[in-house]
């Protein structure tokens, strides 16, 4: 009996025959190693976790690679640091943020490159303690709108008036 | 950095800054949906890049501010489409800015589109300035109320008259004709009576 790989495979499909196993990598069938599966105590073959396994966050036998780390529910999905010092709003650093919009004094929208799967996600932020240069100091930080593709946030002073922060940070957690 | 001015139905102007979604270095193009920009832009760090989906090959280290690195940006329409529908419906006009927005944000909420750049609606700017004056004078008026009451209890008529005059001066700051006479944000900002500083 000859090896008979399945027709029309998709990437990740495996095929076993004669005690050997192959996995389709998108272009061809790769033979998997014959070593034992790795465990906490034994060396061996270890699979790479796919997105669903990362999102389930329960597998202890598969390895995490940099390009899939972001699928774990406990990992920050986006973050941004921005500032208004010197007048113009600028993005100092960010991750998974595709744009920042200055809507007005103390009013900013952060768009995500990879959107969240729903609006049930977490936004955490803070801004500098010297918020504003005029009155009242600081410091209320409010979520104006959370949508799957963007988050709009407001910075107020203690008098309840909108005020620009010298700088601010935000982190976003949730499912994408 | 690419910036777009977005005028809205309520008369306000938003400024959207796009974050690069791809870059090209030494003839190789890298798409990156998750660029950690601080490590690619705006710093003097050097980067070592690996062609995506290829055999690992280290490119020569390239200074991040090198002109040899070119960046690509997401379409502005795609970014606006990520906003809630109610906010998308407010968008009237979108235009790429060729020069930076005003560095002074004192009258930020009075920004309007003025040709191909951002200018100021001086009517709105004057109202912002008056609100700022009202906020600045409020604690001073409260303190003078206390002083006046003490002077009244002490029967100090001259003090009462002096305090009353100062309170009136504070009430009059928003009626300063220089506010309406100002034709630029700089002139308007300079209208700040000494009574507000005392």
Do A109 and B83 lie within an 8 Å CB cutoff? yes
**Cβ contacts of B19 on chain A, cutoff 8 Å:** 91, 94, 97-100, 113
Question: Phi, psi at residue A51, to the nearest 5°?
Answer: -55, -45
What is the C-alpha R_g of chain A?
Answer: 24
Report the pLDDT value the prediction gives residue B139, as an integer from 0 to 100.
Answer: 92
**Cβ contacts of B1 on chain A, cutoff 8 Å:** 90
Q: For B7, which residue in chain A has the nearest alpha carbon?
A: A103
Distance from CA of A145 to the nearest CA of B (A): 8
Do A91 and B19 lie within an 8 Å CB cutoff? yes
Q: What is the ipTM of this complex?
A: 0.77
Beta-carbon contacts of residue B156 (< 8 Å; ≥ 6 apart): none
At B178, which helix (H) or strand (E)?
Answer: helix B177-181
Chain B, residues 56-95, CB within 8 A of chain A, namely: 74, 79, 81-84, 87
Do B34 and A93 lie within an 8 Å CB cutoff? no
Beta-carbon contacts of residue B28 (< 8 Å; ≥ 6 apart): B49, B51, B59
Categorize the per-residue pLDDT at B57 as very low, low, confident or very high, splitting at 50, 70 and 90.
very low
The Cα A9–Cα A27 span in angstroms is 9
**A24-42 pLDDT tens trace:** 988 888 887 666 778 888 8
SS3 A68: helix
The Cα A111–Cα A96 span in angstroms is 9
Q: What is the DSSP string of A110-134?
A: EEESSPPSSS--EEEEEE-TT--SS
Say which residue, B114 or B42, is predicted with more confidence.
B114
Residues in chain B: 198
Q: What is the DSSP string of A1-54?
A: ----PPSS--TT-EEEETTEEEEE-SSSEEEPP-SPBP-SSS--B-PBP-HHHH
- Nearest by CB to B103, from A87, A91, A113: name it: A87
Do A98 and B6 lie within an 8 Å CB cutoff? no
CB pairs under 8 A between A and B: 110
**Cβ contacts of B40 on chain A, cutoff 8 Å:** none
Give CA B105 to chain center in angstroms. Answer: 4
A138-153: string of b/e by CB count within 10 Å (b at 16+)?
bbbbeeeebbbbbbbb
Q: Among A81, A89, A91, which residue's Cα sits nearest to residue A107? A: A89
Q: Structure pTM?
A: 0.77
Average pLDDT, chain A: 86
**B4-56 pLDDT tens trace:** 999 999 989 999 999 877 777 767 666 654 444 444 443 444 555 555 555 44
What is the C-alpha R_g of chain B?
Answer: 27
**B65-97 pLDDT tens trace:** 667 778 889 999 999 999 999 999 999 999 999
B109 touches chain A (CB under 8 A): yes
């Amino acid at each position: 009996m000859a090896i008979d790989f399945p027709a029309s495979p998709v990437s990740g499909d495996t095929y076993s025959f004669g005690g050997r196993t192959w996995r389709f990598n998108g272009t061809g069938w790769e033979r998997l190693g014959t070593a034992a599966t790795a465990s906490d105590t034994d060396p061996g073959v270890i699979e790479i976790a796919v997105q669903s396994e990362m999102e389930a966050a329960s597998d202890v036998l598969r390895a995490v690679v940099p390009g899939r780390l972001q699928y774990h529910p406990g990992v920050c999905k986006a973050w941004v640091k921005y500032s208004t010092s010197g007048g113009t709003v600028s993005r100092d650093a960010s991750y998974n943020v595709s744009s920042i919009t200055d809507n007005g004094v103390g009013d900013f929208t952060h768009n995500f490159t990879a959107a969240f799967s729903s609006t049930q996600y977490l936004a955490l932020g803070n801004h500098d303690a010297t918020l504003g240069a005029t009155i009242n100091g600081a410091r209320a930080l409010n979520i104006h709108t959370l949508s799957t593709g963007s988050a709009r946030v407001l910075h107020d002073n203690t008098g309840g008036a909108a005020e620009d922060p010298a700088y601010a940070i935000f982190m976003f957690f949730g499912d994408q | 950095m690419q910036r777009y001015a977005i005028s809205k139905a309520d008369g306000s102007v938003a400024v959207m800054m796009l974050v690069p979604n791809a870059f090209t270095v030494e003839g190789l193009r890298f798409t990156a949906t998750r660029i950690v920009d601080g490590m690619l832009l705006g710093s003097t760090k050097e980067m070592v890049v690996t062609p995506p989906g290829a055999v690992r090959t280290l490119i020569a280290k390239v200074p991040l501010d090198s002109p040899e690195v070119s960046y690509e940006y997401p379409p502005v329409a795609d970014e606006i489409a990520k906003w809630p529908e109610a906010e998308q419906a407010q968008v009237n006009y979108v235009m790429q800015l060729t020069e930076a927005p005003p560095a002074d944000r004192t009258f930020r909420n009075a920004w309007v589109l003025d040709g191909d750049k951002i200018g100021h609606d001086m009517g709105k700017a004057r109202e912002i300035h008056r609100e700022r004056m009202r906020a600045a004078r409020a604690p001073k008026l409260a303190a003078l109320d206390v002083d006046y009451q003490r002077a009244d209890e002490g029967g100090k008529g001259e003090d009462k008259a002096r305090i009353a005059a100062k309170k009136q001066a504070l009430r009059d700051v928003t009626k300063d004709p220089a506010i309406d006479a100002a034709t630029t944000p700089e002139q308007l900002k300079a209208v700040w009576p000494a009574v507000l500083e005392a």
